[in-house]
Amino acid sequence: MKTTLLASPLEQKTRFRIQIKHAVAIGPGKADVLQCIADTGSIAEAGRRMGMSYQTIWSLVNAMNRDFISPLVSTQRGGVAGGGTKLTELGEHILKLYRDVELKAQQAIEGQITELVSFIKPDTGA
């Protein structure tokens, strides 16, 4: 398992990405997609809120549904009863696990990241 930790010196915020095997990854982008789908019940609305195209969101959902043991997102086409998108039980569990890992990682490195950022020139990255 490979983990990547990104820190923005301007925001002092870390972004935690977990890569397992050669391509399966869950990181802040996919977690945010899951959260937005959970909040809106719509892939299209999630894309609009995140400033991503429908195709981009759909590609991320397909990748997650393909890479995990069962789908994380369930979709139902429109019609008389209306369509919709929701997280499966596994999707909800994966999102919670990721958010827990993200929080614990942030707490574990908080002091060191703050110190590291203090040595970066203020105009860097602007």
Q: Is the pLDDT of residue 106 over 90?
A: no
Residue 86 pLDDT: 94
79's enclosing H/E stretch is: none
Residue 13 pLDDT: 63
CB 56 within 8 A of CB 44: no
Query: Which tens digits make up the pLDDT trace of 32-89?
Result: 999 999 999 999 999 999 999 999 999 999 999 999 999 999 988 765 566 789 999 9
Residue 57 pLDDT: 94
Query: Which tens digits make up the pLDDT trace of 2-47?
Result: 444 454 444 556 777 787 777 678 889 999 999 999 999 999 999 9
Residue 124 pLDDT: 59
Return the higher-pLDDT residue of 20 and 125. 20
Q: How many other C-beta atoms are found inside a 10 Å radius of the C-beta of residue 64? A: 22
Residue 38, phi then psi, degrees to nearest 5? -60, -40
Cα 4 to chain centroid distance, Å, stands at 13
Q: Using 50, 70 and 90 to split pLDDT, how confident is the model at 93? A: very high
Question: Domain 27-103: which CATH class?
Answer: mainly alpha
Who's near 56: CB < 8 A, 6+ residues apart? 47
Cα 118 to chain centroid distance, Å, stands at 28
